Amino acid sequence: MKHSLLMIKTLKGFPKCISCSVNNVAAHGIPDNRKLEKGDIVNIDVTVFLDGYHGDCSFTYPVGQIDQQAEKLIKVTSKCLDIGISTCKDDVPYRNIGKNIDVHCKSNGFLSIQYLLGHGIGTFFHGPPDIYHCLNSYPGKMKEGMVFTVEPCITEGGRRFKVLEDDFTLLTEDNSRTAQAEHTILVTRDSYEILTLDS
């Protein structure tokens, strides 16, 4: 319970301990009384605060049998995460992460939602650098010892979204489904280390 309370505090008023984003909820879905139904896809985003440090991870899961397009969306999103992470090492420009993800998702008929970024993480929850998952001109290069998240949010439709009155929940404007996958990573001299567990 102690860790849950600390996590809520770091999310600036978010009322639950996890984010649960179903179908057309792009991010920051607040768990409620809606029952999951067969065919849904749901992203579960968890932040852990332990011994003064944060870890952030998420994955999108099928609920029962899902259609082929949803299966493809989840698969492509997972691959975009792998591609983004594999870009990371000392002295590589941050913008290369988004460039490489952009190529893969567009080649599969999807788009990355530009607004949803990865972020620096450590004793703070959100901070620089900003990690874009699309074409971008963000300056700077990764350095050995940096810790940040890579978390592409991929949509089967358009990139536009709207924010609900709760000031947290982001919905796609055209009601298209999204999938997201995330790890916290450490940049090393020649590569990277994934600090969060695989789904």
Domains, the chain, ranges and CATH?
Answer: 2-194 (3.90.230.10)
pTM of the model: 0.90
How far from chain centre, in Å, is Cα 51? 23
- Nearest-CA neighbor of 183 among 109, 115, 133? 133
Identify residue 171 by its one-letter amino acid code: L
CA distance 143 to 145: 6
Per residue of the chain (199 residues), what is the pLDDT tens digit?
Answer: 334 434 443 456 776 778 899 999 999 988 888 899 999 999 999 888 788 877 889 999 999 999 999 999 999 999 999 999 999 999 999 999 999 999 999 999 999 999 899 999 887 778 899 999 999 999 999 999 999 999 999 999 999 999 998 888 999 999 999 999 999 999 999 999 999 876 5
